[in-house]
């Protein structure tokens, strides 16, 4: 059994898979958690085991089923050293404005669910006085835009949660990293027209995240230039910003 284990929540996404390979390459065992995990990740788990000689276990996990969080976490083969939460749902802003169920799903998947499961894990890490947590937020949470403010508002709340969690756990030797990706070429964004020069590949983002976690960074934008893009976006006066069609 490897000494280092990372739990990846929302393990079916392209970014999650890139992180799974990144961490296993560094000697970490993996606990991959997602819905229908056996159907989607069985071959991936086998490939990682053979390629990097690490342990990989698959775990059924549904972010909207909060009643099963404790059973899920306590049934893991061992308590992980770190956890990465990549659970997310973009949804469709125009549809969600008139569809209460989609609006609820956006908020629950991107905020309520991640907050609840990470609270449970944080309590364990605090008790053990060790561990690290990575939460994948988004640049969309830095300012509300008319094209995706439901998703953005949920990510803004998640960013604030991670900030408070980082302050709470710092005295217990537990590190919390907030990651704010910009455009990333994934299945979730495949129907969006993304500018190629601003769009990162999942493997690039995974490398940025791994380096930041190893260096105990608090907040990172990935790729790096999004920090300056969002700085400019946040400085636009509200009277001008509300007239922008984006």
Of the listed 151, 172, 210, 221, which one is catalytic?
Answer: 151
Q: What is the pLDDT of residue 192?
A: 72
- Give 85: exposed, middle or buried? Use CB within 10 Å, 0-12, 13-18, 19+: buried
Q: Give 116-138 pLDDT, tens digit per residue.
A: 999 999 999 999 999 999 999 99
Strand partners, 60: 34
- Residue 217 banded pLDDT, cuts 50, 70, 90: very high
Report the C-alpha gap between 58 and 10 in whole angstroms: 11
The model's pTM = 0.95
Q: Give 163-197 pLDDT, tens digit per residue.
A: 999 999 999 999 999 999 999 987 777 777 777 78
Q: Is 73 a catalytic residue?
A: no
Q: What is the pLDDT of residue 117?
A: 98
Which tokens is 232 given? 């400019």
Return the higher-pLDDT residue of 98 and 3. Answer: 98
Q: Is the pLDDT of residue 226 over 60?
A: yes
Query: Which of helix, strand or coil describes residue 130?
Result: coil
Q: What share of the chain is helix, strand, coil (3-state, %, to 5)?
A: 55, 15, 30
Query: Which of helix, strand or coil describes residue 154?
Result: helix
Q: What is the pLDDT of residue 246?
A: 77
**Which residues have a Cβ under 8 Å from the Cβ of 101 and sit 6 or more positions away?**
none
As a whole-number percent, the residues of the chain with pLDDT over 70 amount to 99
């Amino acid at each position: 059994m490897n000494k280092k284990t990372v739990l990846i929540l929302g393990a079916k996404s392209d970014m999650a898979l890139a992180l799974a390979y990144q961490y296993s390459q560094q000697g970490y065992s993996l606990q991959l958690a997602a819905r229908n995990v056996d159907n989607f990740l069985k071959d991936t788990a086998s490939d990682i085991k053979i390629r990097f000689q690490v342990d990989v276990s698959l775990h059924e996990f549904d972010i909207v089923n909060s009643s099963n969080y404790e059973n899920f976490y306590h049934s893991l083969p061992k308590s992980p050293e770190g956890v990465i939460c990549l659970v997310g749902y973009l949804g469709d802003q125009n549809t969600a404005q008139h569809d209460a169920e989609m609006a609820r799903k956006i908020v629950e998947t991107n905020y309520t669910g991640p907050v609840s499961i990470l609270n449970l894990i944080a309590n364990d890490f605090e008790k053990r006085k060790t561990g690290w947590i990575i939460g994948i937020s988004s640049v969309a949470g830095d300012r509300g835009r008319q094209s995706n403010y439901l998703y953005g508002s949920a990510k803004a709340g998640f960013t604030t949660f991670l900030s408070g969690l980082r302050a709470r756990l710092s005295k217990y030797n537990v590190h919390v990293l907030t990651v704010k990706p910009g455009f990333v070429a994934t299945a979730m964004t495949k129907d969006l027209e993304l500018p190629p020069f601003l769009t990162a590949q999942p493997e690039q983002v995974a490398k940025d995240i791994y380096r930041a976690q190893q260096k105990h960074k608090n907040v990172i934008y990935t790729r790096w230039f999004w920090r300056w893009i969002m700085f400019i976006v946040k400085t636009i006066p509200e009277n001008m910003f509300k007239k922008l069609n984006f």
